[in-house]
Every structure is written in structure tokens, then in C-alpha cells.
Amino acid sequence: MNTHPTLLKTLDSVLVIVDMQGRLSAVMAEDDAQMMHENTISLLEAAQKLTIPVLATEQYPQGLGGTEKSVQDALPNNAPIFEKTAFSCCGASGFMPALEHTQRKQIILVGQEAHVCVLQTALDLAAHDYQVHVVEDAICSRRAEHKFFALQRLQAQGIIVTNYESVLFEWLRDAAHPDFKEISSLLR
């Protein structure tokens, strides 16, 4: 069956966690940060079940600390974490070779901040011919309007803005999928 080329496929997806660090999350609106963490953990659990590769980055961890504990605990054991000072993940040493090694072209981005690291990563990945999906309910910025305008800019540049439920159901594609019951239980 032919499907639309922007529908996510498990065999072509990579989940990228952008700078989901505790000290950075602490300056976000509490409800936004909590939603971002919860939805990211659901995506991580589904990715692990469906054997979707996961890559993570940390922006200047010496100053901003490591990945939020709840998110780090949900990362697959083989998920590399790349330290960076560049705002785009593409500028992190080793990130692009690791991404290329997956031989997958659909990138699902979650993390913070929407208008800085997520935005620059999405645009750089698109420039490298990746199909980029930004999960709007798994990203945040310190100010709501920064996230709003980042999402507008991303859409104007051809980046797909989605939500975590759409990602889960696109990965499943059918209620007859053997993991449907377990993955649909991740919906909050």
C-alpha cells in the first residue's frame, strides 16, 4: 500500500532528544516542562519497544548539568549522548556520523529550547535532506511566544510540526499491530 511520504515509518525513524537537561528545564514554565518530559518518556518507551534508534544531546553540561534523570532513565542503554556548545545538534562532535550510521531519514525532534537548539537543529537537518518532525507537545521555551514563533518559522521552512500521539499512531499504523495495546497505554 502506498502511503504519504511524510507519515512516519518505524524503519526510517530516529528520535533525537535535544538538551533535556535539569537546569535548563528548571527555568521553563513548570507545566510545559512536565508535559515535555512526560511526552518524551512515552516516545522513548515506544521507540525502545519498536527498536527505533535514539540520539541525545546536552548543551554545555558543565554549566547546565546532565540530562534530566527521568529522561535519562528512559533512554535505551545504547543511546549515545553528545555534548555540545553549538546550538544545533549537527555541530556536536560525532552527532552527524552517528545519525548517518542509522541510515534513516525521518528525524523526530523533542527538547528545549524550541526557538534556539530545536529550531537550529531542525533547519540544519533539513538542509542535510532529512525529513524533520518537531513534536510540539514535547518541546518548550522559557517564553510561550518564543515557542509559538519558532513553530511558525519551522512550518514555513517545510519542517513538519506534529504531536506525540500522532508520532505513536504513525509508528503503529494499525490497531492490529502486535504492540498496539502496550504503546496505546502510553497515551496520557
Reported as a single tens digit per residue, the pLDDT across 90-144 is 999 999 999 999 999 999 999 999 999 999 999 999 999 999 999 999 999 999 9
Answer whether residue 142 is part of any domain. yes
Half-sphere exposure of 102 (CA within 13 A, CB side): 25
Active site positions, annotated: 19, 84, 117
SS3 content of the chain, % helix, strand, coil (to 5): 45, 20, 30
**Enclosing domain of residue 155:** 16-184
Number of neighbours of residue 186 by Cβ within 10 angstroms: 18
Q: Which stretches does DSSP call E strand in 29-176? A: 54-59, 81-84, 106-112, 131-140, 160-162
Answer whether residue 162 is part of any domain. yes
pLDDT given at position 102: 98
Answer whether residue 149 is part of any domain. yes
Answer whether residue 107 is part of any domain. yes
pLDDT given at position 187: 86
Answer whether residue 9 is part of any domain. no
pLDDT given at position 2: 84
Answer whether residue 159 is part of any domain. yes
Answer whether residue 3 is part of any domain. no
172 contacts: CB under 8 Å, gap ≥ 6 = 179, 180, 183, 184
Looking at residue 178, which CATH number applies to its domain?
A: 3.40.50.850
Residues of the chain with pLDDT under 70: 188
- Structurally, the chain folds into a number of domains equal to 1
Q: What is the pTM (predicted TM-score) of this model?
A: 0.97
Answer whether residue 105 is part of any domain. yes
